Amino acid sequence: MTAVRDRLYQEAKTDPTLLRLLVERPELVVETKRQTISTNGEGALGWTARLIAEGYFDTQRSVPETWKELKRRGYAGISARIYESTDSLHKKGFLTKESDGFLAVPGMKINIIEG
């Protein structure tokens, strides 16, 4: 193995193609675009976003479980809207869809503006 490596080094000094092969490295470039949602906290999306901000989805939560929690807090809408809001937040990258519910995406930036 050492003889092969030594020969490659010797040939690389005079063969630019071979030299290029020796120094070329793979490169992966990932550009991240952050989704932003602004809500006043009303409606199913706003109520669900508040739960994310409070850490509710730091453990896996099902939609029926989430709807019950929102009803407990005073949400007056129907459960179908919670299905829609969790699905929307999943598609936008704020929640992951797990086998038995949803989880908040780790490292998500949350800004709460009090008015």
SS3 of the chain: the string is CHHHHHHHHHHHCCCHHHHHHHHCCCCCCCCCCCCCCCCCCCHHHHHHHHHHHHCHHHCCECHHHHHHHHHHHCCCCCHHHHHHHHHHHHHCCCEEEECCEEEECCCCCCCCCCC
> Is residue 49 in a domain?
yes
- Which pTM value belongs to this model? 0.69
Task: Identify which of 103, 15, 8 has the alpha carbon closest to the alpha carbon of residue 61.
Answer: 103
Neighbours of 105 (CB within 10 A): 15
Is 56 within a domain? yes
Q: Could you tell me the residue range of the domain that residue 52 belongs to?
A: 43-104
Contact present, 67 and 80 (Cβ < 8 Å) = no
Residue 35 falls within a domain, yes or no?
no
Q: Is the residue at 99 inside a domain?
A: yes
Q: Which pLDDT value is given to residue 20? A: 65
Give 45-79 pLDDT, tens digit per residue: 999 999 999 999 999 999 999 999 999 999 999 99
Residue 114 confidence class, pLDDT cut points 50, 70, 90: confident
pLDDT for 22 equals 66
pLDDT tens column, 88-98 = 999 999 999 99
Decide if 30 is inside a domain: no
d(CA 49, CA 81): 13
- For residue 15, tell me if it sits in a domain: no
- How many structural domains is the chain composed of? 1
48 in a domain, yes or no? yes
Within a domain: 79: yes
The CATH code of the domain that includes 64 is: 1.10.10
Per-residue pLDDT band at 85 (split at 50, 70, 90):
very high
| Confidence tier at 9 by pLDDT (50, 70, 90) | confident
